């Protein structure tokens, strides 16, 4: 049984014991480690102590009993609180209201769903000779399923990119579209001279700098992180380029001009959206008729397969598109792995026609990186790039 399954079995044990004392040694036995090691692993994966998770699950279950009309004193005893007063304080701290108010129809509380661990494949990027190149895979990691709550996801990801993102993940930018695929080889953009361009998730500005050096007439960019916007502004100003930047999630209307841009692109940015169809519709509104939209993201099949002893092994379902939270070097991000058909169908519904799909890694870039990740890239796609045209 995999670590993922073992951890999920330990979560089932907790669910079955919410009204009883929980033996932490039993939890640890599911993955054959000590209690201390289990606590440490759980905290690393979820960014919270196991005791806090159990507290939240008990108070979530207690909410259901309260709303079903059970007496507060009985519910407090059921979930092992010493007194009704202690239970009420803990309940109010989590749900933002007293147990009696939670009985009110339409009361907005803060339930915490059961955790489900899932395997996540992550690739790594590092700097080499002032270029962004793939030098090795980060390997298998474990995330936890989360609700698709746009507000919480935006807060998590904005905090990550404003404070830690470039240090942990690095920066991926044109001419690279992602792992082992480059604009220099694909030539998807064609001539940029005189074109108005918009960068979705402009990050630290290197892609906009690339388009500026290739004679784009106007440089525009949006990003969820105010810090990234500051970095982009500084980079472009130092290099003598004017730019128009907005700090906003890509899903939201932000006052960008409509029917204005010749090219909208996004390098490893679109996959962060919480509303794919809404984002594509907004991109379509920004573009002129027959305008071009190019975006790249981690290939969904890559996110399902790991390399084990020079063999490829499926570790998760290709069809699982649920959101998950992932800890990277102790910092949390939220992501979802969508099917390739999900991107293609969403483009069609937004009024685009696909002109080219690139998913084969470039041999010269693979040879430049002697790593497990490059070997994987020689056997299956790890990045995809789509070029579409607005009808």
**Bond into 175 cis (ω within 30):** yes
Q: What is the mean pLDDT of the chain?
A: 90
* CA 331/CA 277 separation, integer angstroms: 28
Backbone angles phi, psi at 347, to 5 degrees: -60, -45
pLDDT score at 341: 97
Mean pLDDT of 206-229: 97
pLDDT tens track for 75-121: 999 999 999 999 999 999 999 999 999 998 888 888 888 998 887 77
366 within 8 A of 334, measured Cβ to Cβ: no
- pLDDT-based confidence at residue 138 (cuts at 50, 70, 90): very low
| Cα→Cα distances 194→52, 237, 261, 263, 288, Å | 56, 19, 11, 11, 14
- CATH 3.40.50.150 matches 150-390: yes
pLDDT tens track for 31-48: 999 999 999 889 888 888
For 361-364, the CB contacts below 8 A with 24+ separation are: 361/179, 361/180, 361/181, 362/180, 362/181, 362/182, 362/185, 364/185
- pLDDT-based confidence at residue 305 (cuts at 50, 70, 90): confident
pLDDT tens track for 149-162: 899 999 999 998 99
The string of DSSP letters for 308-375 reads: ETTEEEE-S-TT---EEEEEETTEEEEEE---HHHHHHHHHHTTEEEEEEE-PPPHHHHHT--SHHHH
pTM across the whole model: 0.81
Give the position of tokens 């992180």: 225
pLDDT tens track for 175-216: 999 889 999 999 999 999 999 999 999 999 999 999 999 999
- 145: β partners: 324
Nearest one of 363, 391, 364, 387 to 190, comparing CA atoms: 387
- pLDDT-based confidence at residue 135 (cuts at 50, 70, 90): very low
Mean pLDDT of 352-357: 98
Whether the per-residue pLDDT at 225 is higher than 70: the answer is: yes
Residues of the chain with CATH 1.10.10.60: 3-102
In this predicted model, which residue has the larger pLDDT, 142 or 62? 62
| Angle at which helices 84-95 and 50-67 cross, to 10° | 100
pLDDT score at 106: 82
Superfamily of domain 3-102, CATH level 4: Homeodomain-like (1.10.10.60)
The secondary element (H helix, E strand) that includes residue 84 is: helix 84-95
Mean pLDDT of 331-344: 93
Residues of the chain with CATH 3.40.50.150: 150-390
The sign of the dihedral angle between the CA atoms of 13, 17, 18, 22 is negative
Show the beta-strand stretches assigned E in the chain.
117-128, 131-145, 176-178, 181-182, 196-200, 218-223, 244-247, 261-267, 287-298, 305-308, 311-314, 323-328, 331-336, 352-358, 383-390
Tell me the two tokens of residue 210.
């690339």
Instruction: Express as a percent the part of the chain with pLDDT over 70.
Output: 95
pLDDT score at 107: 86
* CA 67/CA 97 separation, integer angstroms: 13
pLDDT score at 132: 37
Whether the per-residue pLDDT at 330 is higher than 80: the answer is: no
Mean pLDDT of 233-252: 96
């Amino acid at each position: 049984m995999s670590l993922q399954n073992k951890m999920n079995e330990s979560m089932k044990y907790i669910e079955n014991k919410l009204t009883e004392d929980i033996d932490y040694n039993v939890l640890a036995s599911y993955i054959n480690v000590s209690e201390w090691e289990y606590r440490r692993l759980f905290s690393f994966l979820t960014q919270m102590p196991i005791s806090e998770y159990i507290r939240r699950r008990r108070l979530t279950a207690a909410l259901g009993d309260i709303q079903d009309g059970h007496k507060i004193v009985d519910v407090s005893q059921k979930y092992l609180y010493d007194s009704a007063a202690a239970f009420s304080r803990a309940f109010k701290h989590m749900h933002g209201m007293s147990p009696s108010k939670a009985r009110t129809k339409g009361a907005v509380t803060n339930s915490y769903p059961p955790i489900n661990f899932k395997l996540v494949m992550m690739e790594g990027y590092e700097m080499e000779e002032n270029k962004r190149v793939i030098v090795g895979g980060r390997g298998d990691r474990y995330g936890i399923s989360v609700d698709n709550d746009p507000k919480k996801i935006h807060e998590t990801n904005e905090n990550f990119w404003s404070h830690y993102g470039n240090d942990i993940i690095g920066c991926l930018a044109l001419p690279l579209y992602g792992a082992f695929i480059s604009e220099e080889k694909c030539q998807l953009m064609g001539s940029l001279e005189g074109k108005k361009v918009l960068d979705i998730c402009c990050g630290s500005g290197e892609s906009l700098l690339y388009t500026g050096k290739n004679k784009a007439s106007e440089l525009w960019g949006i990003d969820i992180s105010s810090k990234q916007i500051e970095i982009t502004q500084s980079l472009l100003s130092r290099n003598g380029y004017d730019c128009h930047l907005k700090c906003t999630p890509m899903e939201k209307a932000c006052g960008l001009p409509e029917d204005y841009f010749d090219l909208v692109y996004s390098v490893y940015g679109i996959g962060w959206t919480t509303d794919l169809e809404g984002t594509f519709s907004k991109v379509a509104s920004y573009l002129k008729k027959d305008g071009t939209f190019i975006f790249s993201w981690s290939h969904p099949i890559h996110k399902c397969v790991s390399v084990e002893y020079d063999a490829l092994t499926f570790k998760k379902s290709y069809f699982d598109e649920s959101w998950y939270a992932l800890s990277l070097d102790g910092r949390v991000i939220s992501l979802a792995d969508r099917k390739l058909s999900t991107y293609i169908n969403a483009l069609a519904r937004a009024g685009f026609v696909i002109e080219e799909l690139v998913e084969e890694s470039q041999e010269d870039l693979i040879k430049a990186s002697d790593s497990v990740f490059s070997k994987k890239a020689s056997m299956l796609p790890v990045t995809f790039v789509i070029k579409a045209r607005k009808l």
